[in-house]
Each structure stands twice: as structure tokens, then as C-alpha cells.
């Protein structure tokens, strides 16, 4: 259309939604295009494209998109149909559900991960050093219970749990907690 | 850069506050409270009460508008609601229903 006069604003680049640094959105956002968040969003985000949380961005929301790229701070559950990427400097607290998860060095994360394939969680045990035999299936019952509630494991005798996949997960949690500056994790009894 | 843009397929249901220019090409429902400029483009739909410094409307606004400096209704815009601003400009071809208060 005609030129936009009146000194006020703004030449826009098309088809990219930006929540700028000085903006605070409280409520629901949904749509079908990329969204870049440099400001603050509380509530929920539901997109068919990519959500990019910039370094200055703070999202306290449930995020649902095709791809989610986090360079800033996200508090809330994140679910992506394609990928979730935590860049260096990212902080995420919440559960992630995605087929592909990329966590870069320097990213901080606390929560559960469910690697889904086409929406449903994959009931597969994570590959550990002990469970890598091709012939035998690695204990599906133990694996599913581990992915169901890995946060607070029942106390188990120390050496016997050495080969359990839970142990790998717990040490990852430990590292994540240290990154957040905590002295010790909440209730996990793996220090015995 | 760093302007806030609500793209044409985006729907925001809730509240937008801040101190930065805002371009609306999509839909915003709820409340908008800014200290800067709002531009509602042709495709933009604002179903909200708006508080701002200036607002320029090419699209559709349903709700009360309170602008501390200026409200500008361009041709082809559709506005339903009360407008309160010291300076109000309505272009030829604009559609407007509501009260106007220019007392500031």
C-alpha cells in the first residue's frame, strides 16, 4: 500500500513475528509462522513453525511447535514435532518431548526428556555400556519404568545399580543441577 | 530490528504490555498497553482495548482506543469503539463507529 508516513514507525520485514525486547505478552500465542521472542512471554505458545527464544528472551509458557530453538530462558514444558535445540547460554526448566534433541555445551537444562517418534514416546531403553548386545532386548520393563518416573528413584543398594540405565540419567541430572548453581540435587539418593 | 511484529498468521489471546513499537499484521485479542507506537496493518485485527502513545490503523480494530498523542484512521480501516486522544485523524474512506473524545 501507500507509504507509511508520520514519522512513527516502521518498515517491516514480512512473515516473521518478533516479540521485541521491551514487550511482555501474557496469554496465548498461536499461529503458522516463525516466532522470535526477544522479550517476555507468559502463557502458552502453539505454532506450526519454529519458535526461537533469543538470548534476551524469557518464556514462562508451555511451548508447542515444529522446531524450538532456545538461546534464552524457558520455564515450561516444551514439545516439538521435529526438534528442540538448546544453544549455548540457554536455560530450560521443564520437560521436553521431541524426536530430536540437541543440547549444546553451555546450555542448562533440568527436566525429563521423552524422545518421541511421530508423537508417541519410543519405548526403547537408552543405550548403556552394559546393554549393548544385539541379540537380547534390554529389559523393556525396567526401561519404561525408568522413563516414566526417573526423578525420584527408590533407594537401591549402591553397587547393584551400577549397570542400570538410571545411573546415566542421574549423573546427567547432577550435572544439570550444578550448572544451575545448586549444591546438591533434590532427593536423589545416588551419593551413597 | 527489534521492532515487535505480530505476523499475519499469528493469533495472540491475552495481554501485551511494553515500551516498544508494535506492528500488528495478525490478530490480537485482549488488551494492549504500550508507551510507544502501534501500527495495525491491512491484515491486522485488533480486538482489544488499546492504550498507547500513537496508533495508526490500516486494518480492523474493535475496542476502545486511548492514545496519549495521536490516533490515525487510514482509509479502508474499520474501527468500532471509542477513541480518546488529543489528536485524531480520520482519512477519507475510513469506517468508524463509536465516540470521539479529543479533550485529552
Q: What is the pLDDT of residues A94-145, one digit of tens each?
A: 999 999 999 999 999 999 999 877 544 444 444 444 434 444 444 444 444 4
Q: Are strands B65-73 and A91-93 parallel, antiparallel or unpaired?
A: unpaired
Chain-chain contact of A8 with B18 (C-beta, under 8 angstroms): no
* A101 inside domain: yes
Mean pLDDT over the full length of chain B = 92
* B45 inside domain: yes
Q: Hey, which residues 31-70 in chain B have their CB within 8 Å of chain A? A: 36-37, 39, 41-42, 54, 56, 58
* A127 inside domain: no
Q: Hey, which residues 22-81 in chain A have their CB within 8 Å of chain B? A: 22-35, 38-39, 43
Grid cell, residue B52, equals: 498507547
State the smallest CA–CA distance between residue A168 and chain B in angstroms.
41
Residue A176 has phi, psi (to 5 degrees) of -60, -40
Over range B40-53, report the average pLDDT.
95
* B46 inside domain: yes
Q: How many domains does chain B contain in total? A: 1
* A9 inside domain: no
Q: Are B48 and B29 in contact (CB under 8 A)?
A: yes
Gap between the Cα atoms of A85 and A58, Å rounded: 16
Chain-chain contact of B18 with A33 (C-beta, under 8 angstroms): no
Chain-chain contact of A12 with B6 (C-beta, under 8 angstroms): no
For a pLDDT cut of 70, what percent of chain B falls above it? 97
ipTM over 0.85: no
- Of the three residues A122, A155, A174, the one that is the final residue of a domain is A122
Residue B13: per-residue pLDDT: 94
The CA-atom distances, in angstroms, between B32 and each of A3, A9, B78 are 25, 17, 18
Q: How many CB atoms lie within 10 A of CB A152?
A: 10
Residue in A132, A124, A127 with CA at minimum distance from that of residue A165: A127
Same domain, A25 and A116: yes
Same domain, A118 and A156: no
Same domain, A118 and A177: no
Residue A131: per-residue pLDDT: 39
Q: Are strands A120-121 and A113-117 parallel, antiparallel or unpaired?
A: antiparallel
Over range B76-82, report the average pLDDT.
93
Q: Of B15, B39, B56, which is closest to A27 when you measure between CB atoms? A: B15
Same domain, A75 and A101: yes
* B100 inside domain: no
Residue B58: per-residue pLDDT: 96
Chain-chain contact of A32 with B22 (C-beta, under 8 angstroms): no
Residue A183: per-residue pLDDT: 55
The CA-atom distances, in angstroms, between A141 and each of A124, A138, B21, B83 are 10, 9, 55, 65
The CA-atom distances, in angstroms, between A138 and each of A75, A128, A143, A144, A184 are 34, 10, 8, 11, 31
Same domain, A90 and A146: no
Residue in A39, A112, A114, A50 with CA at minimum distance from that of residue A82: A50
* B99 inside domain: no
State the smallest CA–CA distance between residue A139 and chain B in angstroms.
45
Same domain, A38 and A89: yes
Same domain, A106 and A166: no
Question: pLDDT, tens digit, for every residue of B31-42?
Answer: 999 999 999 999
Same domain, A35 and A111: yes
Gap between the Cα atoms of B92 and A1, Å rounded: 15
Chain-chain contact of B39 with A10 (C-beta, under 8 angstroms): yes
* B102 inside domain: no
pTM score, whole prediction: 0.66
Higher pLDDT among residues B73 and A137, named by residue = B73
Residue A142: per-residue pLDDT: 42
Same domain, A117 and A145: no
Over range B80-89, report the average pLDDT.
93
Over range B6-26, report the average pLDDT.
93
Is B19 a residue whose pLDDT tops 50? yes
* A1 inside domain: no
A18 and B CB contact within 8 Å = yes
Phi-psi domain of B98 (left: phi exceeds 0; alpha: psi -120 through 50; beta: other): left
Gap between the Cα atoms of A9 and A30, Å rounded: 25
* A10 inside domain: no
* B103 inside domain: no
Same domain, A70 and A144: no
For a pLDDT cut of 90, what percent of chain B falls above it? 90
Same domain, A71 and A150: no
Is B67 a residue whose pLDDT tops 60? yes
Supply the range of the domain harboring residue B22.
4-92
Q: Which are the contacts of A162, defined by CB distance < 8 A and separation ≥ 6?
A: none
- Using a CB-CB cut-off of 8 Å, the residues of chain A touching B6 are 17
The whole-number mean pLDDT for each consecutive block of 10 residues of chain A, a chain of 192 residues, reads: 40 66 94 94 94 95 95 96 94 93 91 76 44 42 43 46 49 58 56 49
Supply the range of the domain harboring residue A20.
15-122
- Using a CB-CB cut-off of 8 Å, the residues of chain B touching A10 are 3, 21, 23, 37, 39
Over range B67-83, report the average pLDDT.
93
Chain-chain contact of B58 with A23 (C-beta, under 8 angstroms): no
* A131 inside domain: no
Q: How many domains does chain A contain in total? A: 2
Amino acid at each position: 500500500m501507500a507509504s507509511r508516513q508520520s514519522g512513527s514507525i516502521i518498515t517491516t520485514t514480512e512473515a516473521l513475528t518478533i516479540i521485541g525486547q521491551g514487550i511482555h505478552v501474557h496469554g496465548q500465542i498461536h499461529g503458522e509462522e516463525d516466532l522470535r521472542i526477544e522479550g517476555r512471554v507468559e502463557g502458552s505458545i502453539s505454532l506450526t513453525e519454529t519458535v526461537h527464544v533469543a538470548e534476551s528472551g524469557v518464556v514462562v509458557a508451555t511451548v508447542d511447535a515444529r522446531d524450538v530453538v532456545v538461546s534464552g530462558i524457558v520455564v515450561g514444558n516444551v514439545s516439538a514435532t521435529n526438534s528442540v535445540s538448546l544453544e549455548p547460554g540457554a536455560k530450560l526448566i521443564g520437560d521436553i518431548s521431541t524426536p530430536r534433541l540437541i543440547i549444546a555445551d553451555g546450555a542448562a537444562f533440568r527436566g525429563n526428556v521423552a524422545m518421541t517418534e511421530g508423537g508417541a514416546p519410543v519405548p526403547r531403553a537408552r543405550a548403556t555400556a552394559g546393554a549393548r548386545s544385539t541379540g537380547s532386548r534390554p529389559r523393556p520393563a525396567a526401561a519404561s519404568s525408568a522413563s516414566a518416573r526417573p526423578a525420584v528413584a527408590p533407594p537401591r543398594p549402591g553397587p547393584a545399580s551400577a549397570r542400570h540405565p538410571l545411573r546415566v540419567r542421574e549423573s546427567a541430572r547432577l550435572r544439570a543441577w550444578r550448572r544451575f548453581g545448586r549444591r546438591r540435587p533434590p532427593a536423589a539418593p545416588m551419593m551413597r | 530490528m527489534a521492532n515487535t511484529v505480530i505476523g499475519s498468521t499469528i493469533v495472540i489471546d491475552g495481554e501485551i504490555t511494553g515500551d516498544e513499537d508494535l506492528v500488528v499484521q495478525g490478530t490480537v485479542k485482549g488488551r494492549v498497553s504500550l508507551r510507544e507506537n502501534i501500527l495495525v496493518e491491512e491484515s491486522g485485527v485488533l480486538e482489544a482495548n488499546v492504550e498507547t502513545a500513537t496508533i495508526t490503523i490500516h486494518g480492523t480494530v474493535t475496542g476502545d482506543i486511548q492514545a496519549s498523542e495521536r490516533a490515525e484512521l487510514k482509509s479502508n480501516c474499520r474501527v468500532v469503539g471509542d477513541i480518546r486522544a488529543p489528536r485524531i485523524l480520520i482519512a477519507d474512506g475510513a469506517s468508524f463507529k463509536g465516540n470521539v473524545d479529543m479533550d485529552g
